[in-house]
Amino acid sequence: MTKLSVNINKIATLRNSRGGNIPNLCKVATDIEGFGAQGITIHPRPDERHIKYQDARDLKKIVTTEFNIEGNPIQKFIDLVLEVQPTQVTLVPDAVNAITSNAGWDTLKHSEFLKEVIATFKANNIRTSIFVNADLKMIEGAAETGTERIELYTESYADAYAIGDKNGVLPFTEAAKLAYQLGMGINAGHDLSLDNIQYFKENVPNLLEVSIGHALISESLYLGLDNVVNMYLNKLK
């Protein structure tokens, strides 16, 4: 079964909109695990507009499933990850002012930088993953960095699926096959939803984990968080 890691950034956004601690991020994370999710993902950004750096420290104390911290490996982020020691760190090349992640790494251009950062995390027994487009050259470049996993950036698949083009999954199928051949685990995320997740799962081999936040939280407004988590789990079997 492909694991479901729930990104709780949007819960933090709601909390921050009023100040205080409602909704309580740690309580929501614990509930999500109780509903059956196999992981919790956060993506702290330098301006802390949703996840705060202290949230990472607080969540480390209570998360009992896989804990995944995503972000651009600036020094402040690297220091946080080394302090918190999550299960996995996912390196994302997002700009400081980006609303959300919008591109994978150029693993050829940034090869030496990625090798250095990944070696640091691996030396501290933190599993590494890097965010990449479904481009075979970028997959080959990722393998050269020493990363243990990749996370396929799935926006193009979601856009194609939304207009009825199921062939949009084909680059991801080929990218996953190559990554597996090169010894890397395969994660995926970005714009995956209840509508498109099952088809992606059925057509992308060796998919270990998906990280889903915006769609899952939005769907939960109508259907309930417990119900939605289990709907995803059923589609990922």
Name the residue ranges covered by the structural domains of the chain: 3-235
50 counts as catalytic: no
Q: What is the pLDDT of residues 168-213, one digit of tens each?
A: 999 999 999 999 999 999 999 999 999 999 999 999 999 999 999 9
Q: What is the pLDDT of residues 89-111, one digit of tens each?
A: 999 997 665 555 568 999 999 99
CATH top-level class of 3-235: alpha beta
Q: What does the pLDDT read at residue 98?
A: 55
- pLDDT band at 25; cut points 50, 70, 90: very high
Q: What does the pLDDT read at residue 95?
A: 64
Catalytic residue among 70, 151, 209, 219: 70
What percentage of residues in the chain have a pLDDT greater than 90? 95
Q: What is the pLDDT of residues 212-230, one digit of tens each?
A: 999 999 999 999 999 999 9
Q: What does the pLDDT read at residue 31?
A: 98
Q: What does the pLDDT read at residue 187?
A: 98
Catalytic residue among 50, 66, 190, 219: 190
110 counts as catalytic: no
To the nearest whole number, what is the mean pLDDT of the chain? 96
* Distance separating alpha carbons of residues 132 and 76, to the nearest angstrom: 22
43 counts as catalytic: yes
Read off the pLDDT of each residue in 21-36 and give the average, rounded to a whole number: 98
